[in-house]
Amino acid sequence: MTDEPGGTVPHPAAVGERTHHDTPEAILFGGVYGAVLASSMVAALSQYGYTSPARRGYDAVWVLVTALASALAHGYAHYIAERAPHRRWDVLRTLAEEWPLVAAVLPTVVVLAGAYWGWWSAEGVEYPAFVMNIVLLFGLGVVTSRRSGRGWGVAGLIGTADALFGVVVVLVNALIK
């Protein structure tokens, strides 16, 4: 039992304990979500074959805006779903915990922005972005699995399963075009 009136267990956030958002699984969730979101956005934005540098800059902004909006929506959903007393700044803490989602789209944003800035050709830049996201998905699966105490074999399988999400997006993009 606890010292709380009525014998209730206090919410972890109310006592400063680690929440489920801080776990390797939460980082994997946000990273996978972000990498799949980035690939999906690149596929959708490049669907009609616009490949000018200006268009790639526009695409970079939209990928980032979509990631931020998704992180805000997901963080806010967590905040209101936790039916417990909240402290004054808990909403900001909950929103900040969505950083893996935003961080996972940043490599794609850099690739698209690089095409806008003329670092490389704007034509076909979606393919390196897809490959990068597939590698990111694989790496996230392996790293978080290993941090959770799983062996290398299981970690490799989880990384491969995560990477398959990216491959599916690439295949669907190819079929749509």
48-76: per-residue pLDDT in tens?
A: 778 899 999 999 999 999 999 999 898 88
Tell me how far apart the alpha carbons of residues 20 and 177 are, in angstroms, rounded to a whole number.
Answer: 40
Give CA–CA dist 131/163, Å, rounded: 10
| Higher-scoring residue by pLDDT: 23, 70 | 70
- Measure the CA–CA gap between 115 and 101, rounded to whole angstroms: 23
pLDDT at 9 over 70: no
Residues 168 and 33: their CA atoms lie apart, in Å, by 14
Question: What's the pLDDT at 146?
Answer: 92
| Residues 157-176 pLDDT 10s | 999 999 998 899 888 877 87
Distances (CA, A) of 163 to 34, 39, 62, 65, 174: 13, 12, 23, 24, 17
Residue ranges of alpha helices (H) inside the chain are 24-45, 53-81, 90-96, 99-116, 126-147, 152-176
pLDDT average, residue stretch 77-82: 80
pLDDT at 95 (0 to 100) = 77
Q: Taking all residues of the chain, what is their mean pLDDT, rounded to a whole number?
A: 84
The pLDDT score that the predictor gives to residue 13 is 46
113: helix, coil or strand? Answer: helix
Q: What is the pLDDT of residue 1?
A: 42
DSSP conformational letter for 19: P
Handedness of CA 135, 143, 19, 164 (dihedral sign): positive
> Among 1-10, 125-134, 168-177, which range has the highest average pLDDT?
125-134
Tokens of 143: 């790293």
Tell me, what's the pLDDT at 41? 92
The DSSP call for residue 118 is T
